Amino acid sequence: MLTALTVAGWASARVDANGLPAYVDGYAKWTKLNVKPIHGGSAAHQGVKNVYASKRKVNRRYPVGTIVVKTATPPGKRWLSLVATMRRSAGTTNGGWRWEEFTRTSSTARFTKVGFPASGCAACHMQAKANDYVFTRR
Ligand code: HEC
């Protein structure tokens, strides 16, 4: 069992009860990249946002295995409506980053994965290439 999990590499197959992938577990304890909650910012993601990274940059680059999570709460609300992720693999396309996004429309609903193609995420995140494709700087 352990071997199977190791071979699978990413734990993306397991989904938590709330619909989020297991790889975001514990993100709220990771390093927060934004100093203050982000209001406005990219129109790609509405609401009040926070960004967390599972690892710190080493020589201006996030190590392979780093997971970056952006959360958003709808304006005036306290529950999360968006969890967007970037995961660094050892690949070279788009710096090895892979993008996924999960949303829900109420505080009790399960999150579902958004159909938006990762290539669209990457196309915009290209603009932050100088900071390793990550817009939010610490
Ligand atoms: C039109 C440009 C644009 C598109 C498209 C876009 N993003 Fe972003 N993204 C941003 C900007 C700008 C930020 C900085 C925080 C903010 O303003 O929301 C950001 C922040 C993030 C972050 C936090 C790390 C960082 O770069 O600051 C994640 C994770 C993320 N986006 C995931 C995604 C995913 C997943 C998709 C596709 C489903 C996506 N983004 C599509 C512009 C974009």
In terms of DSSP bridges, do strands 97-103 and 82-88 run parallel, antiparallel, or are they unpaired?
A: antiparallel
Q: What is the pTM of this model?
A: 0.91
Sorted by where each begins, the domain ranges of the chain are: 26-131
pLDDT digits (tens, 9 = 90+) for 99-122: 999 999 999 999 999 999 999 999
User: 27-74 pLDDT, tens per residue?
Assistant: 999 999 999 999 988 878 889 999 999 999 999 999 999 999 999 998
**Atom of ligand 1 at shortest distance to CA of 123?**
5
What is the 132 CA–ligand 1 centroid distance (Å)?
Answer: 13
Residue among 94, 89, 91 at smallest CA distance from 117: 94
